[in-house]
C-alpha cells in the first residue's frame, strides 16, 4: 500500500464524514462554474463594447452600446448574487455595507468596521429559499446592498 492509496482512503473518509455536506460541495462547484462562465461572458461583452466604442467614434453612446452596457450590468448583478450564495454556503459573511468578504467568526467587517449579521450556516436548499424571499427585502439605491426591513428583527431593549 503506497502513501497515495492512503491519501485516497483518507479523502474518502473525509467525504463520508462530510456526507451531509456533499450537496453543499456540489452546489459550491456549480455556483463556481456559473460565476466562471458569467465572467467569461462579461469579458467578451467588454471587448465587444470596446470595439463598438471605437467604431462609434463620438462621445454619445449608440443604442447597441447602451444595450450591451445594461447586459453587462445584469451579468455583474448575477455574479454578485452568486458570490453571496457561495459565501452563505461556505459560512462566510458578506458585509451588507461594503460587500467585503469576512469569515463566519467575524463580528465586524474587516474592511469598513460595520457590524456583520449573525452567522447562519445555510444548506444549499435554504440558500435557494433565501434567494426567493430576497425579493421582499429592499436594496439600497446608493450601493445596491441589501437593506433589512425593520419589521423582521425588532430590537426589544429596555
Ligand atoms: Zn464592510
pLDDT of residue 56: 82
pLDDT above 70 covers a percentage of the chain that reads 61
Element (H, E) at 113: none
Strands (E) in 11-132, as ranges, are 93-94, 101-102
Cα(7)–Cα(57) distance, rounded to whole angstroms? Answer: 60
Cβ proximity of 124 and 89 under 8 Å: yes
Reported as a pLDDT band with limits 50, 70 and 90, residue 136 is very low
The H-assigned helical ranges of 111-153 are 124-133
Least confident among 76-85, 105-114, 124-133: 124-133
Q: How far is the CA of 96 from the centre of ligand 1 (A)?
A: 7
Q: How far is the CA of 109 from the centre of ligand 1 (A)?
A: 5
Q: Which cell numbers hold the place of 119?
A: 452567522
Q: How far is the CA of 92 from the centre of ligand 1 (A)?
A: 13
Q: How far is the CA of 84 from the centre of ligand 1 (A)?
A: 14
Which residues, including other chains, have CB under 8 Å from residue 123's CB and lie 6 or more apart? Answer: 23, 24
Q: How far is the CA of 73 from the centre of ligand 1 (A)?
A: 22
Cα(96)–Cα(139) distance, rounded to whole angstroms? Answer: 10
Amino acid at each position: 500500500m503506497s502513501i497515495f492509496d492512503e491519501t485516497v482512503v483518507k479523502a474518502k473518509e473525509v467525504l463520508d464524514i462530510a456526507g451531509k455536506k456533499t450537496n453543499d460541495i456540489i452546489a459550491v462547484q456549480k455556483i463556481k462554474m456559473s460565476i466562471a462562465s458569467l465572467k467569461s461572458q462579461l469579458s467578451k461583452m467588454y471587448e465587444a463594447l470596446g470595439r463598438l466604442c471605437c467604431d462609434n467614434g463620438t462621445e454619445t453612446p449608440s443604442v447597441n452600446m447602451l444595450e450591451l452596457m445594461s447586459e453587462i450590468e445584469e451579468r455583474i448583478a448575477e455574479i454578485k448574487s452568486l458570490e453571496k450564495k457561495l459565501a452563505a454556503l461556505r459560512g462566510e459573511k458578506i458585509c451588507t455595507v461594503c460587500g467585503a468578504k469576512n469569515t463566519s467568526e467575524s463580528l465586524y467587517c474587516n474592511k469598513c468596521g460595520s457590524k456583520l449579521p449573525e452567522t447562519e450556516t445555510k444548506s444549499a436548499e435554504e440558500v435557494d429559499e433565501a434567494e426567493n424571499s430576497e425579493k421582499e427585502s429592499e436594496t439600497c439605491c446608493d450601493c445596491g446592498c441589501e437593506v433589512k426591513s425593520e419589521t423582521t428583527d425588532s430590537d426589544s431593549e429596555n
